[in-house]
Amino acid sequence: MIYEYISVKVFCIITSRAGREERRSAVRVTRRVCNLYLTSLHEQRCRPLTSDSKHGSSMASNSSSSNAQHRLRIISGHLQKRPEDESTGITAQECKAETPKSTPSRLTPVPKRRQEIMKWNGWGYSDSRFFFNKIGQAEFTGKRYRLSGLILPSLKDWFEGTFGANLQHKSPATPTLNLSAVAPPNLNEPFIEELKAVGVAMSHDPEDRVFRAHGHCLHEIFALREGRIGRVPDMVVWPSCHKDVEKIVELACKHNTCLIPYGGGTSVSSALECPHEETRSIVSLDTSQMNRILWIDEKNLTAHVEAGIIGQDLERQLNESGYCTGHEPDSMEFSSLGGWVATRASGMKKNIYGNIEDLVVHIKMVTPRGVIEKSCLGPRMSTGPDIHHFILGSEGTLGVVTEVTMKIRPIPEYQKYGSVVFPNFQQGVACLREVARQRCAPASIRLMDNEQFQFGHALKPQVSSIFTSFLDGLKKFYITKFKGFDPHHLCVATLLFEGDRGKVLQHEKQVYDIAAKFGGLAAGEDNGQRGYMLTFVIAYLRDLGMDYYVIGESFETSVPWDRVLDLCRNVKERIVLECKERGVQFPPLSTCRVTQTYDAGACVYFYFAFNYRGLSDPVHVYEQVEHAAREEILANGGSLSHHHGVGKLRKEWMKESVSVVGLGMLKSVKEYIDPKNIFGNRNLL
Partner 1 sequence: MERASAEALEAEPDGFFDILEERRQGSDISHALRTFNPQPYRGAAPTSASALNRMVLESQHLSYIIQEITLESDEPREVLLKEASAILDEMSQNLQLGFIRLLGFILSKVFKSVFRSIHVNEDGLTQLRQAIQEYPVILMPNHRSYVDFLVLSYIMFTYDLSIPVIAAGIPLMGMKLIGEILRRAGAFFIRRAVRSDKLYWAVLSEYVRTIVRTGFAPVEFYVEGWRSRTQKSLIPKLGMMEMVLEPFFKGEVFDISLVPISISYDRVLEESILAKELLGFPKPKETTWGLLKAWTVLKEDYGCMHVCFGNPVSVRDLVKGKMNCKQYNLVPRDLPMKANKQTQEFVSGLAHVIVRLQERNVVLSPWNLIAVILLQNLQGIDLDQLTHKTLWLRRLALQFGAHLNWPKHISDSEVMSSNLTLHHSVAHCDKGHIHLAEEAGPVPVSQEEGVFRRATAVLMCASYRNQAVHVFTRPAMVAVTLTKAASNRTDDIFRHFNLLLELFSNEFVFIPGQVFQDFEEGCSLLQQSGVIGRSDQEVFVRDEGQETIVFLRAILQPFIESYQVVFRFLCEESLQTFTEKNFLHSVRRFIMKLIISGEVHSYECLSSDVQKNVLSTLFRMDALTKTKVDGQTEFSVNKSAVTRIRDLLSK
Residues that bind partner 1 (CB under 8 A): 562-563, 566-567, 569-570, 573-574, 634-637, 656
C-beta of residue 400 within 8 angstroms of C-beta of residue 261: yes
Q: End-to-end CA distance of the chain, in Å?
A: 53
Smallest gap from residue 494 Cβ to partner 1 (A): 25
Catalytic residues: 605
- What phi and psi, each to the nearest 5 degrees, are found at residue 465? -115, 150
**Distance between CA atoms of residues 143 and 147, nearest Å:** 8
Tell me, letter by letter, the H, E, C secondary structure of 561-628.
Answer: HHHHHHHHHHHHHHHHHHHHHCCCCCCCEEEEEEEEECCCEEEEEEEEEEECCCCCCHHHHHHHHHHH
- By beta-carbon proximity to partner 1, the closer residue of 143 and 489 is 489
The least distance separating partner 1 from the CB of residue 437, rounded to whole angstroms, comes to 15
**666 CB contacts (<8 Å, ≥6 apart)?**
658, 684, 685
Nearest distance, CB of residue 560 and partner 1, angstroms = 8
Closest CB to partner 1 among residues 483, 569:
569
Nearer to partner 1, 67 or 636 (CB): 636
Q: Which is nearer to partner 1, 22 or 562 (CB)?
A: 562
Residue 122: name the closest of 156, 182, 173, 178 by CA: 173
Residue 307 or 633: the one with the smaller Cβ distance to partner 1 is 633
**Shortest Cβ 566–partner 1 spacing (Å):** 5
Residue 147: strand, helix, or coil: coil
User: Is the CB of 425 or the CB of 497 nearer to partner 1?
Assistant: 425
| Cβ nearer to partner 1, comparing 65 with 570 | 570
Q: 3-state DSSP helix/strand/coil percent for the chain, to nearest 5?
A: 45, 15, 40
Query: DSSP states of 90-109 as a string?
Result: -------S---TTPPP--SP
Please state, as a whole number, how many other Cβ atoms lie within 10 Å of the Cβ of residue 489.
15
**Cβ burial 416-454 (10 Å sphere, 16+ → b, else e):** bbbbbbbbbbbbbbbbbbbbbeeeebbbbbbbbbbbbbb
Minimum Å gap between C-beta 122 and partner 1 is 35
Return left, alpha or beta for 559; rule: phi > 0 is left, psi -120 to 50 is alpha, else beta. beta
When the beta carbons of 500 and 573 are compared against partner 1, the nearer one is 573
Instruction: Say whether 21 sits in a helix, a strand or coil.
Output: coil
Least distance between partner 1 and beta carbon 570 (Å): 5
The Cα 531–Cα 456 span in angstroms is 6
Q: How far apart are CA 589 and CA 569, in angstroms?
A: 13
Give dist(CA 608, CA 551) in Å, integer: 8
Q: CB of 392: closest distance to partner 1 in angstroms?
A: 24
Q: Please tell me the distance from the alpha carbon of residue 146 to that of residue 492, in angstroms, as a whole number.
A: 21
Closest CA to 6 of 574, 529, 474: 474
Q: Which lies closer to partner 1 via its Cβ, residue 108 or residue 424?
A: 424
Task: Provide, rounded to whole angstroms, the least separation between the CB of residue 636 and partner 1.
Answer: 4
CB of 427 to partner 1, least distance (A): 11
3-state secondary structure of 446: strand
H or E segment to which residue 532 belongs: helix 524-546
Amino acid sitting at position 625: V
Question: Do 494 and 444 meet the contact criterion of CB atoms below 8 Å apart?
Answer: yes
